[in-house]
Structure 1
Amino acid sequence: MYLAGRACRDQALTETITKIHARSRRTYGAPHVHAELRLQFGVRVGRKRVARLMRTARLAGVHRRRRGLTRREPSTVPADDLVGRDFTAPGTTHPAPGPSGRRNGAASPP
Structure 2
Amino acid sequence: MKCIICDRETKYYFTTDFTTHHQGKFKDQLDKSEFYKCINCGFTFSKTLYEMPYEKWCELNLKAHTLFESQHLDSRLSNQPPYLAQASMINILATNNIIQNNLVESSQNGGGGAVK
TM-score by length of 1: 0.22
More strand by share: 2
Greater Cα radius of gyration, structure 1 or 2: 1
More helix by share: 2
TM-score by length of 2: 0.21
Q: Which has the higher contact order (CA 8 A, sep 6+)?
A: 2
